[in-house]
């Protein structure tokens, strides 16, 4: 256990205190003084010396002395010196705060340029760093503050920090420890399945809300189903089923009737009769036309044949006429030629010799001798006569030739004449024959009677028509009766579908009933689940209660007077972490009296001091509030209001007690 005791504290120009020397000699002291005599200032000085802050943990406070008007008195040295006993060794710390005045070059007056703080350890000036290091090696600032002021823990710390310190001091409790401590929580780990209590409570809350919502919906759904239930009043399932079966059999019967009508013998029989009659009609017609038709065909064939023979003859006779015409044309042209030859002959024959010759020599042009001229003339005559004979003979020969040709054509014509005569008589014969045959044909054709006039044929035809009419009538009748049966079927069917829809109401009702049962089951299941969740919720609450009790018990067991509330039950059933100091059930923050506040603070300091292994001087400001302090292990400097003490007065209670004893 480390211990620091204050031996003395001296103040110079500190917060208006010009000079004060508090000597404690490391013992408990009580400092008395009227209001505003500087009691609290002592504590401020102590804290400033160590941590640069006042007793309210403020850094910004007026150290320098102010006059009545609030003006700073300059050029003062503000100083605090503390003499401590640290684990039996003395330590002197001094801090001096002063103004800094510098003379600028050439200037007579010094100027205020700021502040300086000087640090001394055991009278030796040191750097701030060294000074601070010494203190921080001595004790952590936060811990020191906790240990030096009974109000610091409850009034300066945030609740979270208070809680943290308490848990640190007493040790937290694990969930396993909580569960192990309470048999009724045995099943909790199984329920949590790794979730934290808080998370599981959230899951339960969400599921409960869901279940509630579903539970609210179920009656509405059931009601809706019930409102839509079909009306089964006056309906009997068995009866409906029987009626439907009966209608089905009626419909079947009617369908049979229709198919009987459709396939009925009556019409088929009559159609067969018609086929037979048609065969008979064909036979009658063939018999009827048997004789007379043959004759007509024969005559027509003969006429056709003879006509074509006649055509051939006529063609031949025409050819002969063409030949004769051609021959006559030739004869005429030959005759014309003969006429011309005759005229030519007479002309040649009548020609006489004429001598008109040139009697000069063609070479020399001298007249020829007479005899020469005579001989030439004779010769010429001779020549002339010879040529004339020759020419006549030619003409004669040509005439003879033409005459022969003419005779040929004439002969041919007479031959053709005979042929023409012969053909003409043949043509006449053929024409006579044809007219005779045509007359015969006419006669035969006029004897043929139309089959329709055949009595047997007519009777059969009539019979056919009568049967056809009967078929038509039968068909009309069949269609009508089928139609009326079908109407009957349709009626039955509509009645059947009415019955069916009534019957369907039963299955609808069954389904609805089933659905209602399902919903009711669901309702029961949800209610059971809700109950299970309720139990789980109860277990989590039980867990929390157990944990709270365990933790608070554990923590409270470490304190004599102070009690702590670490959890607060919330409206939703959850627990909120808090940290409230109580004394005899009264919360520190609301309603606790000042004496209790101080004693509780001292109780806390005792425990913390134990935990941190450190004893620091405790400054109890406003100590007049307490008539009886609890036992405290550390040095206590009590600051007590005392109206009669216009100046601070120090008492050593233990010394007095000893003296008194
Ligand atoms: N910087 C300062 N300069 C001058 N006077 C100051 C300065 N700071 C505080 N004072 C005054 O010093 C006096 C001492 O104040 P302090 O708070 O120490 O009195 P106290 O004894 O604790 O009174 P109380 O019994 O009312 O608590 C007060 O009158 C205060 O106004
Ligand atoms: Mg005071």
* Tens of pLDDT, residues 98-112: 988 888 887 888 888
CA of 619 to the centre of ligand 2 (A): 11
Higher-confidence position of 598 and 259: 598
Per-residue model confidence as pLDDT tens digits over 451-509 = 888 888 999 999 999 999 998 988 888 889 899 999 999 999 999 999 999 999 999 99
- Ligand 1 pocket member 36 (CB < 6 A): yes
**10 C-alpha to center of ligand 2: Å?**
18
Decide whether any atom of ligand 1 lies within 6 Å of the 642 Cβ. Answer: no
Alpha-carbon span 549 to 542, nearest angstrom: 10
The domain spans of the chain are 2-139+616-660, 318-453
The atom number, within ligand 1, closest to the CA of 64 reads 1
Q: Give yes or no for a contact between 531 and 215, defined as CB atoms under 8 angstroms apart.
A: no
Largest CA distance in the chain: 247
Cα 58 to ligand 1 centroid, rounded to whole Å: 15
Q: What is the pLDDT of residues 577-606, one digit of tens each?
A: 899 999 999 999 888 999 999 999 999 999
**Cα separation values, 142 from 17, 51, 57, 139, 190, Å:** 27, 10, 10, 9, 43
Please state the rounded mean pLDDT for residues 241-247.
Answer: 95
Distance CA 43, CA 623 (A): 13
161-181 mean pLDDT? 90
Please, are residues 617 and 6 in contact by the beta-carbon 8 Å criterion? yes
Distance CA 442, CA 445 (A): 5
Q: Distance between CA 23 and CA 135 in Å, rounded?
A: 21
Which of 18, 32, 35 for a ligand 1 pocket mutation test, highest count of atoms within 8 Å of Cβ? 35
What pTM, to 2 d.p., does this model score?
0.55
Average pLDDT, the chain: 91
Cβ of 37 closer than 6 Å to ligand 1, yes or no, is yes
Looking at ligand 1, which residue's alpha carbon is closest to its atom 6? Answer: 16
Find the helix or strand (DSSP H, E) in which 378 lies.
helix 370-447
Ligand that comes closest to the CA of residue 641: 1
Contacts 24+ apart (CB under 8 A), 571-576: 572/205, 573/201, 573/537, 573/541, 574/198, 574/201, 575/544, 575/548
Ligand at shortest distance from the CA of 37: 1
| Distance from Cα 192 to the centre of ligand 2, integer Å | 55
Dihedrals phi, psi of 550, to nearest 5 degrees: -60, -50
**Minimum-distance ligand 1 atom for the alpha carbon of 35:** 25
640 CA → ligand 2 middle, Å? 8
Nearest-ligand number for the alpha carbon of 42: 1
C-beta 15 within 6 A of ligand 1: yes
pLDDT digits (tens, 9 = 90+) for 422-459: 999 999 999 999 999 999 989 888 877 788 888 889 99
State the distance from the centre of ligand 1 to the C-alpha of 151, rounded, in angstroms. Answer: 20
Strand 110-121 versus strand 124-126 pairing type: antiparallel
Beta bridge partners of 464: none
Q: Are 575 and 202 in contact, with CB atoms under 8 Å apart?
A: no
251 three-class SS: helix
Residue nearest to atom 31 of ligand 1 (CA): 36
Compute, in angstroms, the gap from residue 56 CA to the centroid of ligand 1. 14
Q: How far is CA 281 from CA 108, 164, 284, 309, 603, in A?
A: 170, 132, 5, 41, 147
CB 196 within 8 A of CB 575: no
Q: Which residue has the higher pLDDT, 360 or 47?
A: 47
Separate counts of helices (H) and strands (E) for the chain: 13, 14
Fold (CATH) for 2-139+616-660: Rossmann fold (3.40.50)
Helix H or strand E segment including 91? strand 89-103
296 within ligand 1 shell (Cβ under 6 A) = no
Q: Is 78 in the pocket of ligand 1 (CB under 6 A)?
A: no
Of 450 and 134, more confident:
134
Tell me how far the alpha carbon of residue 37 lies from the centroid of ligand 2, in angstroms: 8
Which residues neighbour ligand 2 (ion) by CB within 5 Å?
Answer: 39-40
Query: Ligand 1: distance of its center to the CA of 55 in Å?
Result: 13
């Amino acid at each position: 256990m480390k211990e620091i005791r204050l031996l003395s504290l001296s103040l110079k120009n500190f917060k208006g205190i010009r000079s004060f020397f508090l000597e404690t000699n490391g013992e408990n002291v009580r400092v008395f003084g009227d209001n505003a005599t500087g009691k609290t200032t002592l504590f401020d000085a102590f804290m400033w010396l160590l941590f640069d802050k006042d007793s309210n943990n403020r850094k910004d406070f007026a150290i320098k002395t102010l006059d009545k008007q609030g003006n700073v008195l300059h050029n003062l040295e503000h100083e605090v010196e503390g003499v401590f006993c640290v684990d039996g060794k003395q330590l002197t710390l001094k801090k001096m705060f002063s103004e800094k005045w510098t003379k600028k070059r050439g200037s007579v007056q010094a100027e205020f340029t700021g502040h300086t703080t000087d640090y001394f350890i055991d009278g030796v000036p040191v750097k701030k760093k060294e000074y601070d290091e010494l203190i921080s090696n001595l004790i952590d600032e936060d811990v020191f503050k906790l240990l030096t002021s009974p109000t610091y823990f409850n009034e300066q710390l945030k609740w979270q920090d208070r809680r943290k310190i308490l848990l640190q001091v007493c040790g937290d409790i694990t969930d396993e420890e909580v569960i192990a401590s309470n048999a009724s929580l045995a099943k909790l780990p199984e329920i949590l399945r790794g979730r934290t209590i808080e998370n599981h409570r959230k899951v339960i809350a969400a599921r409960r809300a869901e279940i509630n919502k579903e539970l609210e919906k179920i009656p509405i759904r059931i009601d809706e189903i019930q409102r839509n239930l079909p009306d089964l009043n006056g309906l009997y399932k068995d009866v409906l089923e029987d009626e439907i079966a009966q209608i089905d059999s009626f419909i079947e019967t009617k369908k049979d009737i229709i198919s009987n009508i459709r396939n009925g013998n009556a019409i088929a029989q009559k159609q067969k009769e018609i086929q037979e009659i048609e065969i008979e009609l064909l036979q009658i017609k063939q018999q009827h036309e048997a004789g007379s038709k043959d004759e007509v065909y024969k005559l027509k064939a003969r006429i056709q044949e003879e006509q074509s023979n006649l055509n051939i003859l006529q063609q031949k006779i025409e050819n002969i006429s063409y030949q004769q015409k051609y021959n006559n044309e030739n004869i005429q042209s030959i005759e014309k030629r003969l006429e011309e030859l005759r005229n030519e002959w007479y002309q040649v024959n009548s020609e006489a010799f004429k001598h008109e010759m040139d009697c000069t020599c063609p070479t020399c042009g001298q007249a020829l001798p007479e005899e020469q001229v005579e001989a030439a003339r004779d010769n010429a005559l001779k020549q002339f006569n010879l040529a004339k004979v020759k020419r006549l003979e030619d003409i004669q020969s040509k005439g003879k030739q033409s005459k022969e040709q003419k005779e040929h054509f004439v002969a041919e014509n007479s031959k053709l004449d005979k042929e023409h005569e012969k053909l003409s008589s043949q043509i006449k014969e053929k024409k006579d024959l044809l007219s005779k045959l045509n007359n015969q044909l006419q006669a035969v054709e006029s004897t043929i009677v139309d089959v329709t006039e055949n009595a047997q044929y007519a009777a059969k035809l009539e019979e056919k028509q009568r049967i056809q009419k009967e078929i038509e009538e039968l068909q009309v009748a069949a269609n009508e009766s089928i139609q009326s049966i079908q109407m009957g079927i349709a009626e039955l069917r509509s009645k059947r579908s009415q019955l069916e829809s009534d019957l369907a109401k039963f299955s609808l009702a069954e389904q609805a009933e089933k659905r209602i049962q399902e919903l009711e089951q669901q309702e029961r299941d949800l209610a059971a689940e809700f109950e299970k969740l309720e139990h789980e919720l109860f277990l989590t609450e039980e867990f929390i209660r157990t944990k709270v009790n365990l933790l608070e018990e554990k923590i409270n067991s470490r304190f004599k007077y102070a009690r702590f509330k670490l959890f607060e039950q919330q409206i939703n059933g959850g627990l909120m972490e808090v940290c409230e100091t109580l004394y005899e059930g009264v919360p520190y923050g609301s309603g606790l009296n000042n004496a209790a506040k101080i004693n509780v603070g001292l109780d806390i300091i005792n425990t913390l001091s134990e935990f941190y292994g450190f004893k620091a001087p405790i400054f109890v400001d406003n100590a007049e509030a307490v008539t009886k302090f609890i036992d405290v292990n550390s040095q206590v400097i009590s600051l007590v209001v005392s109206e009669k003490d216009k100046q601070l007065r120090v008492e050593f209670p233990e010394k007095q007690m000893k003296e008194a004893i």
